[in-house]
Structure 1
Amino acid sequence: MTTPVVLSSQFAVDPLDAQSLLAAFGVLGAGAVMFAETGLLIGFFLPGDSLLFTAGLLCTGDGRHGVRLSLAPLLAAAAFGALAGAQCGYLIGRRAGGALLAPGRSARLREGAKRAEELLARYGHAKAIVLARFVPVVRTVLNPLAGALGVPVRVFTVWQVTGGLVWSVGLTLAGYALGSSIPSVDRYLLPLVALIVAVSLLPLAAEVYRGRGRGKAKEARG
Protein backbone atom coordinates (compact mmCIF):
# COMPACT_ATOMS: atom_id res chain seq x y z
CA MET A 1 0.00 0.00 0.00
CA THR A 2 1.46 3.33 -1.06
CA THR A 3 1.50 6.36 1.17
CA PRO A 4 0.38 9.66 -0.40
CA VAL A 5 2.99 12.37 -0.47
CA VAL A 6 1.89 15.54 1.28
CA LEU A 7 3.74 18.66 0.24
CA SER A 8 4.62 21.07 2.99
CA SER A 9 2.57 24.27 3.07
CA GLN A 10 5.77 26.27 2.68
CA PHE A 11 5.80 25.27 -0.98
CA ALA A 12 2.27 26.53 -1.61
CA VAL A 13 2.22 29.76 -3.61
CA ASP A 14 -0.81 32.02 -3.73
CA PRO A 15 -0.65 33.97 -7.03
CA LEU A 16 -2.98 36.62 -5.58
CA ASP A 17 -0.76 37.24 -2.55
CA ALA A 18 2.23 39.54 -3.16
CA GLN A 19 4.08 38.30 -0.07
CA SER A 20 3.63 34.66 -1.09
CA LEU A 21 4.96 35.35 -4.59
CA LEU A 22 7.98 37.25 -3.28
CA ALA A 23 8.76 34.58 -0.69
CA ALA A 24 8.69 31.88 -3.36
CA PHE A 25 10.44 33.61 -6.26
CA GLY A 26 12.15 36.72 -4.93
CA VAL A 27 13.38 39.47 -7.26
CA LEU A 28 13.02 37.33 -10.39
CA GLY A 29 9.43 36.62 -9.42
CA ALA A 30 8.74 40.33 -9.18
CA GLY A 31 10.01 40.84 -12.73
CA ALA A 32 8.02 37.87 -14.01
CA VAL A 33 4.79 39.15 -12.44
CA MET A 34 5.32 42.59 -13.96
CA PHE A 35 5.84 41.00 -17.37
CA ALA A 36 2.79 38.75 -17.11
CA GLU A 37 0.47 41.43 -15.76
CA THR A 38 1.38 44.00 -18.40
CA GLY A 39 2.10 41.75 -21.36
CA LEU A 40 -0.21 38.73 -21.18
CA LEU A 41 -3.98 38.88 -20.85
CA ILE A 42 -3.91 35.84 -18.56
CA GLY A 43 -2.00 37.95 -16.02
CA PHE A 44 -4.77 40.49 -15.43
CA PHE A 45 -5.50 39.06 -11.94
CA LEU A 46 -1.93 39.37 -10.62
CA PRO A 47 -1.22 41.84 -7.76
CA GLY A 48 0.99 44.34 -9.57
CA ASP A 49 0.60 47.43 -7.37
CA SER A 50 0.69 45.60 -4.06
CA LEU A 51 3.64 43.45 -5.17
CA LEU A 52 5.76 46.47 -6.08
CA PHE A 53 4.95 48.27 -2.84
CA THR A 54 5.43 45.15 -0.71
CA ALA A 55 8.73 44.33 -2.40
CA GLY A 56 10.07 47.81 -1.69
CA LEU A 57 8.89 47.54 1.90
CA LEU A 58 10.60 44.17 2.38
CA CYS A 59 13.93 45.58 1.23
CA THR A 60 14.08 47.35 4.60
CA GLY A 61 12.64 44.57 6.79
CA ASP A 62 14.37 42.17 9.12
CA GLY A 63 13.34 39.07 7.21
CA ARG A 64 10.70 38.04 9.76
CA HIS A 65 8.39 37.17 6.84
CA GLY A 66 11.01 34.92 5.24
CA VAL A 67 11.76 37.45 2.51
CA ARG A 68 14.93 39.49 2.08
CA LEU A 69 15.27 41.55 -1.09
CA SER A 70 17.94 43.93 -2.38
CA LEU A 71 16.69 47.26 -3.70
CA ALA A 72 18.88 47.71 -6.79
CA PRO A 73 18.20 44.27 -8.36
CA LEU A 74 14.52 44.65 -7.45
CA LEU A 75 14.23 48.00 -9.23
CA ALA A 76 15.97 46.59 -12.30
CA ALA A 77 13.79 43.47 -12.42
CA ALA A 78 10.54 45.36 -11.84
CA ALA A 79 11.30 48.00 -14.46
CA PHE A 80 12.47 45.45 -17.04
CA GLY A 81 9.41 43.26 -16.51
CA ALA A 82 7.01 46.19 -16.73
CA LEU A 83 8.58 47.65 -19.89
CA ALA A 84 9.20 44.36 -21.70
CA GLY A 85 5.73 43.12 -20.81
CA ALA A 86 3.97 46.20 -22.18
CA GLN A 87 5.97 46.07 -25.42
CA CYS A 88 5.22 42.36 -25.79
CA GLY A 89 1.50 42.96 -25.24
CA TYR A 90 1.54 45.69 -27.88
CA LEU A 91 3.26 43.45 -30.43
CA ILE A 92 0.79 40.64 -29.73
CA GLY A 93 -2.05 43.08 -30.31
CA ARG A 94 -0.52 44.19 -33.62
CA ARG A 95 -0.46 40.59 -34.83
CA ALA A 96 -3.67 39.23 -33.36
CA GLY A 97 -5.84 42.34 -33.63
CA GLY A 98 -9.24 42.47 -31.95
CA ALA A 99 -9.42 38.67 -31.64
CA LEU A 100 -7.58 39.01 -28.33
CA LEU A 101 -10.54 40.82 -26.80
CA ALA A 102 -13.34 38.78 -28.36
CA PRO A 103 -16.71 38.52 -26.56
CA GLY A 104 -15.75 35.13 -25.13
CA ARG A 105 -13.24 36.74 -22.77
CA SER A 106 -14.02 37.23 -19.08
CA ALA A 107 -16.36 40.00 -17.97
CA ARG A 108 -13.51 41.64 -16.08
CA LEU A 109 -11.33 41.75 -19.19
CA ARG A 110 -14.18 43.16 -21.28
CA GLU A 111 -14.73 45.85 -18.66
CA GLY A 112 -11.02 46.62 -18.69
CA ALA A 113 -11.03 46.88 -22.48
CA LYS A 114 -13.96 49.28 -22.32
CA ARG A 115 -12.11 51.49 -19.84
CA ALA A 116 -8.96 51.34 -21.95
CA GLU A 117 -10.87 52.47 -25.03
CA GLU A 118 -12.41 55.32 -23.03
CA LEU A 119 -8.97 56.43 -21.84
CA LEU A 120 -7.60 56.42 -25.39
CA ALA A 121 -10.61 58.34 -26.71
CA ARG A 122 -10.66 60.92 -23.93
CA TYR A 123 -6.97 61.61 -23.32
CA GLY A 124 -5.23 60.60 -26.53
CA HIS A 125 -2.48 58.06 -26.93
CA ALA A 126 0.28 59.57 -24.78
CA LYS A 127 -1.69 60.43 -21.65
CA ALA A 128 -3.83 57.29 -21.80
CA ILE A 129 -0.81 54.98 -22.03
CA VAL A 130 0.74 56.60 -18.95
CA LEU A 131 -2.50 56.72 -16.92
CA ALA A 132 -3.35 53.10 -17.70
CA ARG A 133 -0.31 51.94 -15.72
CA PHE A 134 -2.07 52.96 -12.53
CA VAL A 135 -5.41 51.24 -13.19
CA PRO A 136 -5.60 47.47 -12.50
CA VAL A 137 -6.77 45.32 -15.46
CA VAL A 138 -6.73 48.39 -17.73
CA ARG A 139 -2.93 48.29 -17.74
CA THR A 140 -3.17 44.68 -18.91
CA VAL A 141 -5.55 45.20 -21.82
CA LEU A 142 -4.48 48.63 -23.04
CA ASN A 143 -1.17 47.39 -24.44
CA PRO A 144 -2.59 44.78 -26.87
CA LEU A 145 -5.51 47.11 -27.56
CA ALA A 146 -3.09 49.86 -28.59
CA GLY A 147 -1.41 47.41 -30.95
CA ALA A 148 -4.73 46.27 -32.39
CA LEU A 149 -5.86 49.89 -32.92
CA GLY A 150 -2.64 50.77 -34.75
CA VAL A 151 -1.14 53.22 -32.27
CA PRO A 152 2.25 54.16 -33.81
CA VAL A 153 5.12 52.06 -32.44
CA ARG A 154 7.27 55.06 -31.57
CA VAL A 155 4.45 56.83 -29.72
CA PHE A 156 3.53 53.72 -27.78
CA THR A 157 7.13 52.87 -26.88
CA VAL A 158 8.04 56.36 -25.63
CA TRP A 159 4.98 56.68 -23.41
CA GLN A 160 4.85 53.12 -22.13
CA VAL A 161 8.47 53.45 -21.05
CA THR A 162 7.68 56.76 -19.34
CA GLY A 163 4.62 55.41 -17.56
CA GLY A 164 6.23 52.07 -16.82
CA LEU A 165 9.23 53.61 -15.09
CA VAL A 166 7.12 56.02 -13.04
CA TRP A 167 4.80 53.18 -11.99
CA SER A 168 7.28 50.38 -11.27
CA VAL A 169 10.12 52.43 -9.81
CA GLY A 170 7.81 54.90 -8.06
CA LEU A 171 5.73 52.30 -6.20
CA THR A 172 8.80 50.27 -5.25
CA LEU A 173 10.59 53.33 -3.87
CA ALA A 174 7.42 54.39 -2.04
CA GLY A 175 7.41 51.08 -0.19
CA TYR A 176 11.14 51.37 0.47
CA ALA A 177 10.82 54.94 1.76
CA LEU A 178 8.03 53.96 4.15
CA GLY A 179 9.98 50.95 5.37
CA SER A 180 13.06 53.11 5.95
CA SER A 181 11.18 55.72 7.96
CA ILE A 182 9.17 53.41 10.26
CA PRO A 183 11.05 50.93 12.51
CA SER A 184 9.92 47.30 12.10
CA VAL A 185 7.35 48.41 9.52
CA ASP A 186 7.06 44.87 8.16
CA ARG A 187 5.06 44.03 11.30
CA TYR A 188 2.25 46.00 9.69
CA LEU A 189 2.65 44.39 6.28
CA LEU A 190 -0.89 43.08 5.85
CA PRO A 191 -2.75 46.34 6.62
CA LEU A 192 -0.29 48.30 4.48
CA VAL A 193 -0.79 45.96 1.53
CA ALA A 194 -4.56 46.20 1.98
CA LEU A 195 -4.23 49.98 1.90
CA ILE A 196 -2.16 50.05 -1.29
CA VAL A 197 -4.60 47.68 -2.99
CA ALA A 198 -7.49 49.96 -2.02
CA VAL A 199 -5.62 53.03 -3.27
CA SER A 200 -4.76 51.30 -6.55
CA LEU A 201 -8.47 50.72 -7.17
CA LEU A 202 -9.40 54.39 -6.69
CA PRO A 203 -8.68 55.44 -10.32
CA LEU A 204 -10.91 52.66 -11.64
CA ALA A 205 -13.64 53.52 -9.13
CA ALA A 206 -13.43 57.17 -10.15
CA GLU A 207 -13.73 56.24 -13.82
CA VAL A 208 -16.78 54.06 -13.10
CA TYR A 209 -18.40 56.85 -11.08
CA ARG A 210 -17.77 59.43 -13.80
CA GLY A 211 -19.04 57.02 -16.44
CA ARG A 212 -22.30 56.55 -14.55
CA GLY A 213 -22.62 60.31 -14.15
CA ARG A 214 -22.23 60.84 -17.89
CA GLY A 215 -24.78 58.10 -18.55
CA LYS A 216 -27.34 59.74 -16.26
CA ALA A 217 -26.67 63.12 -17.87
CA LYS A 218 -27.33 61.66 -21.34
CA GLU A 219 -30.55 60.05 -20.12
CA ALA A 220 -31.69 63.37 -18.65
CA ARG A 221 -31.00 65.20 -21.91
CA GLY A 222 -32.72 62.41 -23.90
Structure 2
Amino acid sequence: MHKIFHIIQSIDTELSHYIGLYGRQIYIILFIIIFAKTAYVVLTFLPGDATLFASGAIAAIGHLNFRLLLILFFIATVTGDAQNYFIGNKLGHPNKKTKKFSPLNLISKKSIEKTNTFLITHGKFAIMFSRFVPLLSTTLPFFSGFTHYSFKRFITYNMIGAALWTLTWVSAGYVLGNISWVDHHLSLSLLGITFVSFIPPLIVFAIEYSKKKKVVTKVLEI
Protein backbone atom coordinates (compact mmCIF):
# COMPACT_ATOMS: atom_id res chain seq x y z
CA MET A 1 0.00 0.00 0.00
CA HIS A 2 2.86 2.37 0.87
CA LYS A 3 4.42 1.64 -2.53
CA ILE A 4 1.18 2.52 -4.31
CA PHE A 5 0.90 5.86 -2.50
CA HIS A 6 4.52 6.65 -3.29
CA ILE A 7 3.93 6.03 -7.01
CA ILE A 8 0.82 8.22 -6.96
CA GLN A 9 2.55 11.07 -5.13
CA SER A 10 5.66 11.05 -7.31
CA ILE A 11 4.26 10.06 -10.71
CA ASP A 12 4.68 13.58 -12.08
CA THR A 13 8.29 14.02 -10.92
CA GLU A 14 9.59 10.45 -11.40
CA LEU A 15 7.65 9.41 -14.49
CA SER A 16 10.77 8.41 -16.45
CA HIS A 17 11.79 6.12 -13.60
CA TYR A 18 8.41 4.37 -13.54
CA ILE A 19 8.42 3.94 -17.32
CA GLY A 20 11.66 2.01 -16.90
CA LEU A 21 10.09 -0.14 -14.17
CA TYR A 22 6.66 -0.85 -15.67
CA GLY A 23 7.09 -0.33 -19.41
CA ARG A 24 3.78 -0.11 -21.29
CA GLN A 25 1.86 -0.72 -18.07
CA ILE A 26 2.57 2.93 -17.24
CA TYR A 27 -0.35 3.86 -19.50
CA ILE A 28 -2.69 1.89 -17.22
CA ILE A 29 -1.22 3.59 -14.13
CA LEU A 30 -1.64 7.06 -15.69
CA PHE A 31 -5.23 6.26 -16.67
CA ILE A 32 -6.12 5.07 -13.16
CA ILE A 33 -4.62 8.16 -11.50
CA ILE A 34 -6.49 10.66 -13.70
CA PHE A 35 -9.72 8.63 -13.56
CA ALA A 36 -9.58 8.35 -9.75
CA LYS A 37 -8.82 12.06 -9.35
CA THR A 38 -11.86 13.07 -11.41
CA ALA A 39 -14.21 10.29 -10.25
CA TYR A 40 -13.98 10.75 -6.48
CA VAL A 41 -14.04 14.07 -4.64
CA VAL A 42 -11.98 12.66 -1.76
CA LEU A 43 -9.09 11.96 -4.19
CA THR A 44 -8.84 15.49 -5.51
CA PHE A 45 -5.31 15.69 -4.03
CA LEU A 46 -3.97 13.36 -6.74
CA PRO A 47 -1.65 15.08 -9.27
CA GLY A 48 -3.60 16.09 -12.36
CA ASP A 49 -2.15 19.01 -14.34
CA ALA A 50 1.42 18.05 -13.44
CA THR A 51 0.86 14.44 -14.52
CA LEU A 52 -0.38 15.51 -17.95
CA PHE A 53 2.45 18.04 -18.30
CA ALA A 54 5.10 15.49 -17.32
CA SER A 55 3.60 12.88 -19.68
CA GLY A 56 3.74 15.37 -22.56
CA ALA A 57 7.37 16.18 -21.75
CA ILE A 58 8.30 12.47 -21.76
CA ALA A 59 6.42 12.01 -25.05
CA ALA A 60 8.58 14.76 -26.58
CA ILE A 61 11.68 12.58 -26.19
CA GLY A 62 9.90 9.50 -27.56
CA HIS A 63 9.34 7.49 -24.38
CA LEU A 64 5.54 7.82 -24.54
CA ASN A 65 3.10 8.10 -27.43
CA PHE A 66 1.70 11.63 -27.68
CA ARG A 67 -1.54 10.70 -29.49
CA LEU A 68 -2.19 7.76 -27.20
CA LEU A 69 -1.77 10.04 -24.18
CA LEU A 70 -4.36 12.48 -25.55
CA ILE A 71 -6.88 9.66 -26.07
CA LEU A 72 -6.05 8.02 -22.74
CA PHE A 73 -6.40 11.17 -20.63
CA PHE A 74 -9.52 12.31 -22.49
CA ILE A 75 -11.31 9.01 -21.81
CA ALA A 76 -10.09 8.93 -18.18
CA THR A 77 -11.37 12.48 -17.59
CA VAL A 78 -14.76 12.02 -19.26
CA THR A 79 -15.50 8.67 -17.60
CA GLY A 80 -14.19 9.89 -14.25
CA ASP A 81 -16.41 12.97 -14.31
CA ALA A 82 -19.38 10.84 -15.36
CA GLN A 83 -18.73 8.54 -12.39
CA ASN A 84 -18.49 11.59 -10.10
CA TYR A 85 -21.77 12.92 -11.53
CA PHE A 86 -23.61 9.64 -10.88
CA ILE A 87 -22.29 9.44 -7.31
CA GLY A 88 -23.67 12.93 -6.69
CA ASN A 89 -26.90 12.06 -8.47
CA LYS A 90 -27.36 8.94 -6.35
CA LEU A 91 -26.70 10.81 -3.10
CA GLY A 92 -29.03 13.57 -4.27
CA HIS A 93 -31.92 11.13 -4.06
CA PRO A 94 -32.16 10.53 -0.29
CA ASN A 95 -33.97 7.41 0.84
CA LYS A 96 -36.95 8.66 2.83
CA LYS A 97 -37.38 5.30 4.54
CA THR A 98 -34.12 5.62 6.44
CA LYS A 99 -33.23 8.22 9.04
CA LYS A 100 -29.53 7.47 9.08
CA PHE A 101 -27.35 10.55 9.40
CA SER A 102 -25.27 11.53 6.41
CA PRO A 103 -22.84 14.47 6.11
CA LEU A 104 -24.84 15.42 3.01
CA ASN A 105 -27.78 16.23 5.29
CA LEU A 106 -25.79 19.30 6.31
CA ILE A 107 -26.18 20.74 2.81
CA SER A 108 -29.13 23.11 3.02
CA LYS A 109 -31.86 23.29 0.40
CA LYS A 110 -30.91 26.92 -0.14
CA SER A 111 -27.33 25.94 -1.02
CA ILE A 112 -28.61 23.30 -3.43
CA GLU A 113 -30.94 25.81 -5.07
CA LYS A 114 -28.11 28.35 -5.45
CA THR A 115 -25.85 25.71 -7.00
CA ASN A 116 -28.61 24.62 -9.34
CA THR A 117 -29.28 28.23 -10.38
CA PHE A 118 -25.56 28.74 -11.01
CA LEU A 119 -25.42 25.63 -13.20
CA ILE A 120 -28.49 26.67 -15.17
CA THR A 121 -27.10 30.19 -15.70
CA HIS A 122 -23.44 29.40 -16.32
CA GLY A 123 -23.61 25.62 -16.78
CA LYS A 124 -21.89 25.13 -20.11
CA PHE A 125 -19.00 27.51 -19.41
CA ALA A 126 -18.63 26.43 -15.78
CA ILE A 127 -18.45 22.74 -16.73
CA MET A 128 -16.13 23.31 -19.70
CA PHE A 129 -13.59 25.43 -17.85
CA SER A 130 -13.88 24.08 -14.28
CA ARG A 131 -11.37 21.45 -15.33
CA PHE A 132 -8.67 24.15 -15.13
CA VAL A 133 -9.62 25.21 -11.59
CA PRO A 134 -8.25 23.16 -8.66
CA LEU A 135 -10.94 21.61 -6.42
CA LEU A 136 -13.76 22.92 -8.66
CA SER A 137 -12.74 20.35 -11.26
CA THR A 138 -13.81 17.52 -8.93
CA THR A 139 -16.62 19.18 -6.96
CA LEU A 140 -18.59 20.58 -9.92
CA PRO A 141 -19.32 17.16 -11.50
CA PHE A 142 -20.47 15.89 -8.09
CA PHE A 143 -22.81 18.83 -7.48
CA SER A 144 -24.05 18.69 -11.06
CA GLY A 145 -25.35 15.22 -10.28
CA PHE A 146 -26.44 16.14 -6.77
CA THR A 147 -28.64 18.98 -8.05
CA HIS A 148 -29.96 16.81 -10.92
CA TYR A 149 -28.47 18.98 -13.66
CA SER A 150 -29.21 17.45 -17.08
CA PHE A 151 -26.72 14.63 -17.69
CA LYS A 152 -26.97 15.08 -21.46
CA ARG A 153 -25.87 18.71 -21.18
CA PHE A 154 -23.30 17.87 -18.52
CA ILE A 155 -21.60 15.15 -20.56
CA THR A 156 -21.59 17.31 -23.71
CA TYR A 157 -19.86 20.27 -22.06
CA ASN A 158 -17.70 17.94 -20.00
CA MET A 159 -16.32 16.30 -23.15
CA ILE A 160 -15.40 19.71 -24.57
CA GLY A 161 -13.72 20.69 -21.30
CA ALA A 162 -11.87 17.36 -21.08
CA ALA A 163 -10.58 17.78 -24.63
CA LEU A 164 -9.38 21.34 -23.93
CA TRP A 165 -7.74 20.37 -20.63
CA THR A 166 -6.00 17.31 -22.04
CA LEU A 167 -4.77 19.07 -25.18
CA THR A 168 -3.56 22.13 -23.23
CA TRP A 169 -1.49 20.32 -20.60
CA VAL A 170 -0.11 17.44 -22.68
CA SER A 171 0.81 19.82 -25.50
CA ALA A 172 2.39 22.27 -23.04
CA GLY A 173 4.52 19.47 -21.65
CA TYR A 174 5.41 18.29 -25.15
CA VAL A 175 6.53 21.77 -26.25
CA LEU A 176 7.98 23.20 -23.02
CA GLY A 177 8.78 20.27 -20.77
CA ASN A 178 12.31 19.70 -22.00
CA ILE A 179 13.43 23.31 -21.79
CA SER A 180 16.00 23.39 -18.97
CA TRP A 181 14.54 26.48 -17.24
CA VAL A 182 11.05 24.97 -17.26
CA ASP A 183 12.38 21.69 -15.93
CA HIS A 184 14.16 23.43 -13.03
CA HIS A 185 11.20 25.70 -12.25
CA LEU A 186 8.34 23.24 -12.72
CA SER A 187 6.06 24.79 -10.09
CA LEU A 188 6.38 28.28 -11.60
CA SER A 189 5.87 26.87 -15.09
CA LEU A 190 2.67 25.06 -14.10
CA LEU A 191 1.43 28.17 -12.33
CA GLY A 192 2.12 30.29 -15.42
CA ILE A 193 0.35 27.89 -17.78
CA THR A 194 -2.60 27.67 -15.38
CA PHE A 195 -2.82 31.48 -15.34
CA VAL A 196 -2.79 31.64 -19.15
CA SER A 197 -5.46 28.93 -19.36
CA PHE A 198 -7.75 31.13 -17.23
CA ILE A 199 -7.76 33.90 -19.85
CA PRO A 200 -10.22 32.32 -22.36
CA PRO A 201 -12.90 31.46 -19.73
CA LEU A 202 -12.55 34.90 -18.15
CA ILE A 203 -13.12 36.53 -21.53
CA VAL A 204 -16.18 34.34 -22.14
CA PHE A 205 -17.65 35.10 -18.71
CA ALA A 206 -17.00 38.83 -19.21
CA ILE A 207 -18.85 38.76 -22.54
CA GLU A 208 -21.77 36.82 -21.04
CA TYR A 209 -21.94 39.19 -18.05
CA SER A 210 -21.89 42.22 -20.34
CA LYS A 211 -24.75 40.82 -22.44
CA LYS A 212 -26.90 40.08 -19.39
CA LYS A 213 -26.18 43.51 -17.92
CA LYS A 214 -27.35 45.16 -21.15
CA VAL A 215 -30.55 43.09 -21.12
CA VAL A 216 -31.29 44.07 -17.49
CA THR A 217 -30.60 47.74 -18.29
CA LYS A 218 -33.04 47.68 -21.23
CA VAL A 219 -35.74 46.04 -19.10
CA LEU A 220 -35.33 48.69 -16.39
CA GLU A 221 -35.55 51.45 -18.98
CA ILE A 222 -38.86 50.03 -20.22
- CA gap 1:157/1:118 in 2 versus in 1, 3 angstroms: closer
Question: Aligned equivalents of 1:135 and 1:169: distance in 2?
Answer: 16
Uncovered stretches (5+) of structure 2, i.e. residues with no partner: 19-24, 95-101, 203-222
TM-score by length of 2: 0.66
Instruction: Answer yes or no: is 1:28 the counterpart of 2:28.
Output: yes
Instruction: Answer yes or no: is 1:96 the counterpart of 2:91.
Output: yes
TM-score by length of 1: 0.66
Uncovered stretches (5+) of structure 1, i.e. residues with no partner: 1-6, 63-67, 105-112, 208-222
- CA gap 1:133/1:14 in 2 versus in 1, 3 angstroms: closer
**Which of these residues, 157, 160, 166, is aligned with residue 158 of structure 2?**
160
**Which of these residues, 121, 124, 130, is aligned with residue 122 of structure 2?**
124
The amino acid that maps onto 2:80 is G
Deviation of the 1:19 alpha carbon: 2.5
- CA gap 1:201/1:120 in 2 versus in 1, 3 angstroms: farther
What are the residue-to-residue correspondences of 1:61-210 with 2, within 5 Å? 61=61, 68-97=63-92, 102=104, 117=115, 120=118, 124-179=122-177, 185=179, 188-197=182-191, 199-200=193-194
Aligned 8 A contact 1:135 1:201 in 2: no
Deviation of the 1:187 alpha carbon: 7.7
The amino acid that maps onto 2:175 is A
Deviates more, 1:165-174 or 1:129-138: 165-174
Per-residue CA deviations over 1:49-86 (Å, capped at 9, x if unaligned) read 11111110111137xxxxx2121221111111011101
Q: CA RMSD in A?
A: 3.7
- Aligned-pair identity in percent equals 22
